[in-house]
Amino acid sequence: MRAGWLGLALAAAVMIAAPALAAVRVVAATTDMAALVAAVGGEHVAVETIVPAATDPEAFEPRPGDIDKVRHANLLVRVGLGYDFWLDTLLAQVGDKRLMRGGEGYVDASVGIPLLEIRGQSVVNEGGHAHGVANPHYWLDPGNAIIVTAGIVEALARVAPAERDAFVTNRERFLAELEVRRKRWDESLAPFAGVKLIAYHNSWPYFARRFRLDIVDFVEPKPGVAPSPAHLAHLIAEGRKAGVRAIVHEPYEPEDASRLLAQKLGIPFVRLATSVGSVPHTEDYFALLELNVTTLARALGARPQ
Q: What is the Cα–Cα distance from 17 to 162, expressed in whole angstroms? A: 20
pLDDT surpassing 70 at residue 11: no
Average pLDDT over residues 95-110: 96
Average pLDDT over residues 23-27: 93
Q: What is the model's pTM?
A: 0.88
Q: Name the more confident of 20 and 284.
A: 284
* Sheet strand arrangement including 24-28: 45-49, 24-28, 75-78, 106-108
Residue 249: the pLDDT is 98
At a CB cut-off of 8 Å and minimum separation 6, what does 278 contact? 31, 53, 54, 251, 252
For residue 116, give the DSSP letter. S
Average pLDDT over residues 147-169: 98
Q: What is the Cα–Cα distance from 286 to 303, expressed in whole angstroms? A: 27
Rounded to the nearest integer, the mean pLDDT of the chain is 90
Number of helices (H) and strands (E) in the chain: give both, helices first: 10, 10
- Give the β-pairing of 123-126 and 129-132: antiparallel
Locate all alpha helices (DSSP H) within the chain, ordered by sequence. Answer: 5-10, 31-41, 64-71, 86-94, 144-159, 164-189, 205-211, 229-242, 256-265, 285-301
pLDDT surpassing 70 at residue 1: no
Alpha carbon 207 to its chain's center: 10
Residue 120: the pLDDT is 62
Domain borders along the chain are 5-182, 188-301
C-alpha dihedral sign at 289, 290, 295, 300:
positive
- Architecture of the domain defined by 188-301: 3-Layer(aba) Sandwich (3.40)
At a CB cut-off of 8 Å and minimum separation 6, what does 86 contact? 60, 61, 62, 130
pLDDT surpassing 70 at residue 124: no
Give which of 88, 83, 301 is closest to 201, Cα–Cα. 83
- Architecture of the domain defined by 5-182: 3-Layer(aba) Sandwich (3.40)
Residue 128: the pLDDT is 47
Which segment of 47-56, 142-151, 190-199, 265-274 scores lowest on mean pLDDT? 47-56
139, 145 Cβ separation under 8 angstroms: yes
Q: What is the Cα–Cα distance from 238 to 216, expressed in whole angstroms? A: 9
Same fold, 5-182 and 188-301: yes
- pLDDT, tens only, 206-233: 999 999 999 999 999 998 899 999 999 9
